[in-house]
A = this chain, B = another copy of it.
């Protein structure tokens, strides 16, 4: 099939967005199939493998991929047709001085770190479940499987190179459960070729990723790629079959909220022709909001609205629907 690019991840060794050569080329209208390692680079195999001891680096991503024809000022559209666990287990952990309910590198206190502890989850893809088991008690419970990619981004603007653990306007470590299969992610292009990469799969995560770590899991990923020429996108946006989502990344958390709501208000105004105050009012009553992560170097929040509310407005010239159709040709 000429429209498919299969990329084999041999050894994950990319830990930044920007600053490196592309590993492969993808053309708009093509579908990329590849895999991602987990955030531990696959190094945490049992509950006795403490990440701070067994890992040297964190959060490898697969890529970067050069998108033919992509130039600054364009928008890259990535439709995630499939995000499927590549193993039947996932790992989570508390990590010293990382997470929302501990002091951290950026919010330091004089208190010692919390205990570093690892949890192993059994995944049941048929049943669609993820099994939590306590470490210090005889307590286990099945949670819904909800695979997602924590990290998807392009090379940043201004010649910057950012660690893969950082979320910002270029995407990166957004760590939002909204980035699941079936969605289209829109990212502004900052350099020729866009240079997108992704990784950090989670079998599931809570909103805010409070301990700092999801159910980390290697993934098989199928992504349909498109390019919207001459249209800029200031912050990461997601389209699903029924909603539009804007994502903000910042600290403090209210600024991530402000960015996401401001972007959604602007987007709604543009799509409906409403003036910004009327759009502000509509989003105020119809909008949804939730945190992605409250632990990474920037926190993320998303703002969402049902497309039904927008009375038929179509985003990015129908890119989401087109890419969904393209991906359907695979099956």
Bound Cα distance from A208 to B280, whole angstroms: 12
Chain B hits for A119, CB < 8 A: 281
Min Cβ gap A195→B in Å is: 14
Cβ contact of A102, chosen from B109, B117, B158, B255, cutoff 8 A: B109
Contact partner, A110, options B15, B205, B262, B272, Cβ 8 Å = B262
With an 8 Å Cβ cutoff, the count of chain A residues facing the other chain is 86
Is there an interface contact between B15 and A207, defined as CB atoms closer than 8 Å? no
Given A111-B114, A257-B291, A261-B100, are A280 and B160 neighbors across the interface (CB < 8 Å)?
Answer: no
Which of A18, A136, A257 neighbours the largest number of chain B CB atoms within 10 Å of its CB?
A257
List, in ascending order, chain B residues with CB within 8 A of A143's CB: 285-286, 309
Closest B residue to A306 by beta carbon equals B143
From B141, B251, B311, give the contact of A311 (CB < 8 A).
B141
Is A229 at the interface (CB under 8 A from chain B)? no
Asked if B284 and A210 make an inter-chain contact with CB atoms under 8 angstroms apart, the answer reads yes
In the bound assembly, the distance between CA atoms of A173 and B32 in angstroms comes to 40
Residues of A bordering B, CB below 8 Å: 15-16, 18-19, 92, 94, 100-103, 106-115, 117, 119, 121, 130, 132, 134-137, 139, 141, 143, 158-163, 204-215, 250-255, 257-259, 261-262, 265, 272-278, 280-291, 294, 299, 301, 309, 311
